[in-house]
Amino acid sequence: MILAIILRYENISEEEPFNCRYYLTEYFKNIFDKYNILLFPIVSEKNIDKICNICDGLIVTGSAVDIHPRYYNENPIKGKKYNIDEFKLDKKVIELFANHNKPILGICGGLQSINVCFGGSLNQAIDNHDLGNTLHKVAIKKESFLDKIYHRNEIMVNSFHRQSIKNVAPGFEIVAISDDKTIEAIEKNNIIAVQWHPEQMVDFSFFEYFIKTVSNK
């Protein structure tokens, strides 16, 4: 199995001249090594048609930058920094894989990209959710993909985000929500996305479900 995965850009000024780089956290490498799955990195719009043809599914990873609100018809917050090019890449890749009916997994910023890509919007700034390793509870909708993974009506998850879903994209179903009503997971057909970081939690059950989804497509 080959899974495409979108890498994220960073600029570490103190490491010039090698400061500009694309990265993937070790968590993903370790998890998919366990299942002998090849991760195919995406860093640009070049040849994404060929990448889609050879890959069985897509992972849209988290990001340290925010999606520009012009993509969901809102004005930016004054002084806030956005990365326009990053979402442009996400959107093209997500739409391509969706048009080919290939399974897509979104994680944290990846959930936000998926939601905006299909017509949803975001809360541009939220409080008390960039908690690091602190866990909080989310309620799971019965018969959702999360219910099939955990067989429980609530689980504990981590939290590393400054934005969240405001209006969910048409056709998507909200399948997990936190006590303060933050939308924590959505799904539509073979597209699933969560606001937390299951890779950081080393949640093999979660990724086994997605691998099975890809295998059964």
**Residue positions annotated with a catalytic role:** 108, 197, 199
Question: In angstroms, rounded to a whole number, what is the distance separating the alpha carbons of residues 183 and 174?
Answer: 7
Q: What type of residue sits at position 182?
A: T
Contacts of 48 (CB under 8 A, 6+ apart): 42, 92, 93, 96
Contacts of 18 (CB under 8 A, 6+ apart): none
Residue 130, phi then psi, degrees to nearest 5: -90, 75
Q: Which residue has the tokens 């990846």?
A: 110
Tokens at residue 70, please?
């012009």
Question: In angstroms, rounded to a whole number, what is the distance separating the alpha carbons of residues 50 and 110?
Answer: 22
Question: In angstroms, rounded to a whole number, what is the distance separating the alpha carbons of residues 87 and 105?
Answer: 16
Question: In angstroms, rounded to a whole number, what is the distance separating the alpha carbons of residues 89 and 43?
Answer: 8
